[in-house]
Amino acid sequence: MPNTPEDTDASIRVHTHSRPCYAFGVAIPIGVLGGLIGLGGAEFRLPILAGLLGYTARRAVALNVVISLITVLASLAIRGRTLTLMPIMPLLLPMMAMIAGAIITAFIGTALVGRLSNERLEQVILVFLILIGGLLIIEGFLPTQLPALIPDDPVWQVMTGVLFGLVIGLVSSMLGVAGGELIIPTLIFAYGAEIKVAGSASLLISLPTVLIGVVRYLSQRAYQGRRDLNDTIAPMGVGSVIGAVIGGLLVGVISSAILKIGLGIILIWSASRIFHHGRDRTIGPVR
C-alpha cells in the first residue's frame, strides 16, 4: 500500500536528525520499567512514537511491531540457556490454541490499521491503551498466584485458548505490541501458570503473532527502509533490550504491584494526552 499524505509524518516534535538519540534515550527507561514487571514495554513506546517522535498513528504501530519483534527475540536469546520445555508442557494445549487464535486476528488487525483513517485509528489505540492501563492497575491489587479459572479439560482449554488468542492477536497487531501485558495474566489467572513460566510461554506465543504483524506491514509498505532502521528501529530496539536487561537485574528492588499501579496510571494519562487531546505537535521545521 503506497504512502498517502496521512501515512507520512504529520508533524514532528523532535528534528529528524535528533530522532536516533531520543529513540535510544527514551527506550532504556521504558525497557527498565518493562523488565521490572515482566513486560517488553511496547505499550509505553507507542505514545512516545506518536508523541515525542511525531509519527502518525499508523506509522507508530508499524514501527512498534518491529521493535517488539527485536525485544521478543532478544528475550528468548537471553532466556535460551535456562529455558526448558518441561515447565511449559502443561500449558502446551492452551498455548497452541492461543497462537492459532492470535494468528487469525493478526491478519485482521493489520488490515484494519491499513484501512482506518488516522483519526479513527487513534481512537482505537486510545481505547486499547486505557484498557491495558486499567488491567495493570487491577493486576497490582491481585495476588501473584490464583487457582486456575479454566477447568483442566482439553476441550475447555482449546476453546478458551482460541478466544483469548483472538483478543490478543487483535490488540497486538493494532498496537504493534508483543501482547505480554495480556498473555501473562491470562496464563496465570486462567490456567494457573507460575509467573516465570508464564513469562517464558508468553514469548513463545508472541513470536509468531509479531512476525505476522511485521510481514503484513511490510506488504503494506509501511516502512521507509534504511531511514526507519537508522532513525528509530535500531536505536529504540537496542535501548529497549538494554533497559529490559537492567530491569530484569533489578527485579525485587521495587514492588512489582506498586509499579504496575503506577505504570497503569501513567499509561492512561499519556495515551489520553497523545491520542485524545489532538496532535498539534509541531515545534519547528523538519531538518
* Rounded average pLDDT over 137-144: 80
As a whole number, the mean pLDDT across the chain is 84
Could you tell me if residue 286 is inside a domain?
A: no
Give every CB contact of residue 168 below 8 A, 6+ residues apart in sequence.
98, 101, 102, 105, 179, 182, 183, 186, 205, 209
Confidence at residue 279, expressed as pLDDT on a 0 to 100 scale: 47
Number of structural domains (the chain) is 1
- Predicted TM-score of the model (pTM): 0.85
Answer yes or no: is 1 within a domain: no
Cα separation, 23 vs 1, whole angstroms: 26
Q: What is the pLDDT of residues 206-252, one digit of tens each?
A: 999 999 999 999 998 888 888 899 999 999 999 999 988 888 777 66
- What confidence score (pLDDT) does residue 283 get? 35
Confirm whether 39 is domain-assigned.
yes
Range(s) of the domain holding residue 251: 7-275
Task: Report if residue 244 sits inside a domain.
Answer: yes
Contacts of 91 (CB under 8 A, 6+ apart): 187, 191, 193, 197, 201
In a domain, 155, yes or no: yes
227-245: b (≥16 Cβ within 10 Å) or e? ebeebbbbbbbbbbbbbbb
Cβ neighbours of residue 166 closer than 8 Å, sequence gap 6 or more: 101, 102, 104, 105
Percent over 70 (pLDDT), the chain: 87
Q: Say which range, 26-35, 94-103, 145-154, has the weakest mean pLDDT.
A: 145-154
The answer to whether residue 109 sits within a structural domain is yes
Which of 76-90, 148-162, 193-207, 218-232 bottoms out in mean pLDDT, i.e. has the lowest?
A: 76-90
Report whether pLDDT(174) > 70.
yes
Do the domain assignments include residue 282? no
100 occurs within a structural domain: yes
